[in-house]
Structure 1
């Protein structure tokens, strides 16, 4: 696959690469804070955050269904292009599915971090009723012409409701900032068809499907109050991945990358510290 992928880089341009893969409907902005916090803790690391195909500034792939195999194929090709000598990889939410599918199909990551991994079927989470509403919403959009579908999918009120449901912080300023992020970047998809295909991929798979293939060092980071995947399912996933570590961040939900950036960066830095990435050993900054 040849695709003009847009990506943003943080930290030392010659540092050991860590590729961060964002979640559904987002773009690189969602992981920008985590990337910046990570390179601050690990000065020897270069964080690379691409926009997924069909999201942000990366175009959709012409003539292809945007299903999980396509995203996995894209990630393998992107990693080979930007980090041919080796890399670690991090995926958040839908990004955890993309990373896991890519690992199962040959992605040679040295270490893997999955933040808020999708570890349970879509209709089994604490908010199963809301998930059913979301499925109905996307199916309704699929029946509409492109302009009307885009208007429905990007409607500010619906985006705000999604944001309100996912945000768990009681900090009013942080909560307002999260809503602003979603308002600005949650509808930067190429077209309604691409978004709908990606949505089907997001609710049709779990990381657990790929657990037998996650044989390298793996860190799972979960929010205690995640409405998408309950903690019991994260514990089950940890048991299915040989040697996997699980860090649970109290008081947060599915937006660990917004609500607990410092904690997620600290967990990730500790996991990557002293690891060999692209032939280089990185160590955590004591400061």
Structure 2
């Protein structure tokens, strides 16, 4: 898999969601990690997304998980590591934490898929746009120029959230291999539930958006019994792009999780 690596120290594997690529995770995490030395950040592109190809034999979420596990073996080896997953990447990260329960020192989930994998089965609120703050002097036409997908998903519509969506999310959406993703999508549910087995007892973080109309926040609450050391947060004025719309809270909560995960 194609990946970008930054820094040195404790390995941190950051897994993006369905359709975007590593730039989503790079954009939301690097501003924080640049202030916190001692972490080696690995940002892969999942197969069929970004610059990672998906040959025909990759045809399910199980196959993506296997590729991610192979990446861990090749790039991290036997070291303990931290694991961060966003949306569908959070689903895979939970499964990877089950496989490497004794090595994952902490698990952070950003707007993850909850207990219901398929969209039609999820408990989600209706979409709302709660904040629109056009800076007329800086960019009077940003709403007119913004991508329709951004406008349909955004809870906070501002020049800054649009800029970050354009730079961090949209490139991955444009690069995705639609044919390969459709093939994988037909076998999207993992054959083994990520929460099968004993609880994950290391520090965890589950971040959800109160207005997230893609994965919601209620199905994630049901995960808590499996993660007894989890902080669970529902952020108001935040949708599925929570990291863009509540960036200060996002960084504060991730920083606190890193501190907990570093404890013996």
Provide Cα deviations, 1:40-60, integer angstroms capped at 9, x if missing partner.
342111211111112111121
Q: Which protein is richer in helix relative to its size? A: 1
Of 51, 73, 80, 2:45 maps to: 51
SS at match of 1:272: helix
Runs of 4 or more, structure 1, over 4 Å off, are 179-182
SS at match of 2:4: strand
Does residue 201 of structure 2 align to residue 216 of structure 1?
yes
Return the TM-score normalized by structure 1: 0.73
- Tell me which residue corresponds to 1:250: 236
Counterpart CA distance in 2 for 1:32 and 1:253 is 19
How far does residue 177 in structure 1 lie from its aligned partner after superposition? 4.1
Return the TM-score normalized by structure 2: 0.79
Of 158, 165, 168, 1:178 maps to: 165
CA pair 264-254 structure 1, distance change in 2 beyond 3 A = same
RMSD: 2.9
- Tell me which residue corresponds to 1:126: 124
Of 72, 75, 78, 1:79 maps to: 72
Task: Tell me the number of residue pairs that the alignment of Structure 1 and Structure 2 aligns.
Answer: 239
Provide Cα deviations, 1:179-222, integer angstroms capped at 9, x if missing partner.
46544331212x332111343455x4699x42244513221111
Provide Cα deviations, 1:166-189, integer angstroms capped at 9, x if missing partner.
211132442354246544331212
Does residue 67 of structure 2 align to residue 69 of structure 1?
no
* Correspondence list, 1:4-83, <5 A: 5-11=1-7, 13=8, 15-60=9-54, 62-83=55-76
Ranges in structure 2 where 5+ consecutive residues have no aligned partner: 128-145
SS at match of 2:85: strand
